[in-house]
């Protein structure tokens, strides 16, 4: 689906926008910009990042390969030796500039696609040190040390993410946390994972939508989502579900009308999912403003039905 040209701001998080007070000001916008770059060309990469920032998304994801001969972390999904893709430091400059002055919490998701673990860990630590003054920082055991406006999540290769956690821990301070995920895709595997104590340095839980859906109809997984959210919070994880795009939205007189097309988004918001990854940045921001921010959360204590076995 082509992204909308109109700029609709997805207001968010800890400090609400000017003029917004009460409960609405405290409700975080959960949408995360998925893959805010392009492997096609640098111009399109910059356009996608700018679109996500203009929409007001407070969570941005980029994929990187570590390529020392190219200068370090290259923003790309598949290529280990890209001809023209940007370097991470240059590419994210507009994001760092905007987020320094923006109220509320922001999350940068760096998807580690490849590289030597020792080199990835070393260069990631050096890259993040340049922004330490605006980052949430953590002790080696993963406990919060200082609260900045930007939190960094390392996803993708768990081995590369753990290499960073190990190196930064030896240096005495984590500038990023990595994510975790259950080994299997079924509900039982996820329940077992959530019963285990959180590992030091793991602050996020990343799930594909298939783990949530499990083949169930739209009305069957809201309670299951709520169980997942409750388990994530017990362990101190922020939960991200990916990647939730929607079919052509229903409109009436130019306004969005909720229905089957946005059922997954609605379920995530009602259950309290922290981050909903999507490629439809502007539409997600518009939906949050018109519909999502007004949804009532599901009442705690409802018995989970769980997903059907995939």
> Could you give all domains of the chain from N- to C-terminal order, each with its CATH number?
22-294 (3.20.20.190)
Is the pLDDT reported for residue 37 higher than 90?
A: yes
Chain-centroid distance of CA 283 in Å reads 17
Q: Which is more confident, 96 or 16?
A: 96
Each residue of 182-231: pLDDT tens digit?
Answer: 876 678 889 999 999 999 999 999 999 988 876 454 556 788 899 999 99
Contact between residue 125 and residue 176 where contact means Cβ atoms under 8 Å apart: no
- Report which of 61, 16, 56 is spatially closest to residue 282, judged by C-alpha positions: 56
Q: How high is the pLDDT of residue 1?
A: 36
Each residue of 250-284: pLDDT tens digit?
Answer: 998 889 999 999 999 999 999 999 999 999 999 99
Each residue of 133-158: pLDDT tens digit?
Answer: 999 999 999 999 999 999 999 999 99
Can you tell me the distance from the alpha carbon of 235 to that of 238, in angstroms, rounded to the nearest whole number?
9
Is the pLDDT reported for residue 6 higher than 50?
A: no
Is the pLDDT reported for residue 4 higher than 60?
A: no
Q: How high is the pLDDT of residue 298?
A: 84
SS3 letters for the chain? CCCCCCCCCCCCCCCCCCCCCHHHHHCCCCEEECCCCCCCCHHHHHHHHHHHHHCCCCEEEEEEEEEHHHCEEEECCCCCCCCCCCEHHHHCHHHHHHHHHCCCCEEEEEEEEECCHHHHHHHHHHHHHCCHHHECEECCCCCEEECCCEEEEEEECHHHHHHHHHHHHHHCCECCEEEECCCCCCHHHHHHHHHCCCCCCEEEEEEEHHHHHCCCCHHHCHHHHHHHHHHHHHCCCEEEEECCCCCCCCEECCEECCCHHHHHHHHHHHHCCCEEEECCHHHHHHHHHHCHHHCCCCCCCCCCCCCCCC
Can you tell me the distance from the alpha carbon of 117 to that of 161, in angstroms, rounded to the nearest whole number?
8
Is the pLDDT reported for residue 84 higher than 60?
A: yes
Q: How high is the pLDDT of residue 309?
A: 36
Contact between residue 276 and residue 268 where contact means Cβ atoms under 8 Å apart: yes
Strand partners, 174: 138
Q: How high is the pLDDT of residue 252?
A: 87
Can you tell me the distance from the alpha carbon of 178 to that of 153, in angstroms, rounded to the nearest whole number?
5
Tokens representing 126 are 């050096």
- Of the listed ranges 30-39, 142-151, 299-308, the least confidently predicted one is 299-308
- Report which of 8, 14, 28, 6 is spatially closest to residue 268, judged by C-alpha positions: 28
């Amino acid at each position: 689906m082509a992204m909308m040209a109109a700029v609709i701001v997805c207001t968010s998080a800890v400090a609400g926008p000017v003029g917004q007070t009460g409960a609405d000001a405290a409700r975080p916008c959960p949408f995360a910009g998925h893959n805010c770059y392009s492997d096609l060309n640098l111009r399109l990469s910059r356009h996608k990042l700018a679109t996500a920032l203009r929409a007001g998304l407070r969570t941005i994801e980029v994929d990187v390969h570590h390529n020392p001969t190219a200068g370090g972390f290259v923003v790309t999904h598949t290529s280990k030796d890209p001809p023209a893709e940007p370097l991470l430091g240059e590419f994210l400059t507009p994001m760092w500039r905007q987020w320094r002055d923006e109220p509320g919490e922001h999350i940068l998701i760096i998807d580690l696609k490849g590289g030597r673990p020792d080199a990835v860990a070393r260069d990631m630590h050096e890259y993040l040190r340049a922004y330490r003054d605006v980052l949430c920082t953590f002790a080696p055991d993963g406990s919060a040390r200082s609260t900045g406006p930007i939190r960094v999540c390392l996803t993708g290769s768990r081995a590369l993410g753990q290499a960073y956690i190990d190196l930064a821990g030896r240096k005495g301070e984590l500038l990023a946390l990595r994510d975790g995920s259950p080994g299997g895709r079924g509900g039982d595997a996820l329940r077992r994972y959530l019963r285990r104590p959180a590992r030091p340095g793991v602050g996020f839980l990343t799930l594909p939508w298939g783990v949530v859906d499990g083949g169930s109809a739209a009305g069957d997984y809201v309670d299951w989502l709520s169980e997942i959210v409750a388990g994530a919070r017990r362990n101190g994880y922020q939960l991200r579900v990916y990647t939730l795009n929607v079919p052509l939205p229903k409109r009436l007189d130019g306004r969005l009308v909720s229905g089957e097309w946005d059922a997954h988004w609605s379920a995530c918001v009602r259950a309290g999912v922290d981050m909903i990854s999507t490629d439809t940045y502007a539409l997600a921001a518009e939906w949050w403003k018109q519909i999502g921010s007004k949804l009532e959360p599901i009442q705690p204590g409802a018995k989970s039905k769980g997903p059907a076995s995939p």
